[in-house]
Amino acid sequence: MSIQYWSFVAVLGLMAGGVGGDRNVPAPSLPEVRSQNHITSITLRAALRADGRDAFFYDGQSVAPVIRVSPGDTLKIDYVNDLPVHSKESCAISPCTDMTNLHFHGLQISPQTPQDNVIDMMAMPGETLHYVVEIPADHPPGLFWYHTHPHGESHRQALDGMSGAIVIEGMDRYVPELRNLREQVLVVRGQSIEHGPDATALLRRVEAQAPSCGSEPDEIDRLFTVNAEVRPTIGINPGERQFWRIVNASADRYMDIQLDGQKLEIVAMDGMPLAYHDPKHPIKIVEHALVPPAGRLEAIVTGPAPSAHAALRTRCVYTGPDGDPNPAMVLADTRPGSSAPIAKQADHDPRPPEFKQIDLRAFEASPPDFVVSFTEDKNGFYINGQKYAPESAPMTRVHIGTYQHWRILNQTRELHPMHIHQVHFLAYAENGVRLKHPVWLDTVNVPTGGSVDMVMDFTNPVIRGMSLFHCHLLNHEDKGMMAKILFE
């Protein structure tokens, strides 16, 4: 599976439409929290839902709010662990202790307490963590997200849905058209149906197809929800242009996103405006786009014709001989009508856009400064032959103010999405071949038995401290495929 997100090939045909089941439920609008006087303050609770699953509770409801902040703002979160002392769920590292914390995925912020310290900041049941996150004044705008990151229990908590979206305002500085468009924030999660009594009906509802894109048929144990609903509807009028911000908050599933009969006009990936590094090309027009677990896509879409049934769907993704099934299925249907808000004009940032145009060809041509090798066996998952442990020393150290050429090797028979905290990187080559359209990311797909080359941007002084890089199939991370990196 290519890491190249831009696919210009024609769509071969549309899958049969028709809303499954007997419901026509709109995609719920998520609650939003906004800054007041440049400070955003919320209380977030970890507690059990009525079905016994872990969840974020905000304002008395088991729903994670969209946190909207601007560059230069301060985000304050009191995170209360009200999970039970004795968990009834299973974890990669047993027994489950119901410890929890928060990771602010993709944000270029400090990895030290009280900000994005997922190594030392940990709340056991009955404890509270107090986060004070300083958003740098020059932080790029875009879609980010927050989720729990307790080593050994991350997969279970993410699978239960403990995640939410973060929006850094200001994308309209790079694409002014966005100021007049309705916006949809779509948090897509993978829901386990492995032991559910209604699994067959749910799979029929989302028109899940057998994963026939290169793998042998296998039992489908996940389906996707959009804003916590199975196959909801998204209101968009014929010909209307909207701004959709989509996060793959799945613990372990890929998406290859397509909107029937329409193109995606991508303006940002992984919270990085395309124009930030390439102002001459602020938009990429594609038929579909691969979004790995933890990846984000921000795109302008156009409403289909009145007579057309159009669905937002994921195409089948082949994850390798040992990978999990990622079948094609419908994520949501579109319907005429718009209820999403238009971005508030008062929030418009009058500053001109900032750009970071740098010539990285010398780094691309140099030998790798660091090589990361993903391996696995029946006992676990490894980076450079080592399993992660909380007491582990840093696997590598880098100096702030530098760029480095990294090479990621996947020596397994399944895909792995590699993520590094605090920074973005330019993924420019796959299997030794330079990509036609390199892209800046914080999570990159590494092909089965292949490699990815990237230039890491370690120039931001705010990232100083101990951080992490890991596979974002969180079950793999829980079982050892993670390592420390010291920014010094």
In this structure, are residues 3 and 447 in contact, taking their beta carbons and an 8 Å threshold?
A: yes
Strand-pairing partners, residue 380, are 377
Asked if residue 339 has pLDDT above 70, the reply is: no
8-47: per-residue pLDDT in tens? 222 223 233 333 344 568 888 899 999 999 999 999 999 9
Q: Predicted confidence band at 192 (pLDDT cuts at 50, 70, 90)?
A: confident
- Span 464-486, average pLDDT: 98
Predicted confidence at residue 348, as pLDDT, reads 63
Predicted confidence at residue 460, as pLDDT, reads 97
420-438: per-residue pLDDT in tens? 999 999 999 999 999 999 9
CA distance 270 to 456: 15
Q: Which two tokens stand for residue 90?
A: 């299973």
CA distance 118 to 121: 6
Predicted confidence at residue 318, as pLDDT, reads 93
Predicted confidence at residue 309, as pLDDT, reads 84
CA dihedral for 382, 149, 62, 84, sign (positive or negative):
positive
**Low-confidence winner among 114-128, 348-362, 431-445 (lowest mean pLDDT):** 348-362
Predicted confidence at residue 212, as pLDDT, reads 65
Predicted confidence at residue 23, as pLDDT, reads 53
Asked if residue 345 has pLDDT above 50, the reply is: no
Query: Nearest to residue 182, comparing CAs of 40, 362, 393, 339?
Result: 339
Taking all residues of the chain, what is their mean pLDDT, rounded to a whole number?
Answer: 91
- Span 278-287, average pLDDT: 96
Predicted confidence at residue 217, as pLDDT, reads 60
Tokens 């896509």 belong to: 297
Residues 6+ apart with CB under 8 A from 474: 154, 155, 158, 159, 251, 252, 293
98-112: per-residue pLDDT in tens? 999 999 999 999 999
Asked if residue 218 has pLDDT above 90, the reply is: no
Classify strands 66-69 and 32-34 as parallel, antiparallel or unpaired. Answer: parallel
Q: What pTM, to 2 d.p., does this model score?
A: 0.93
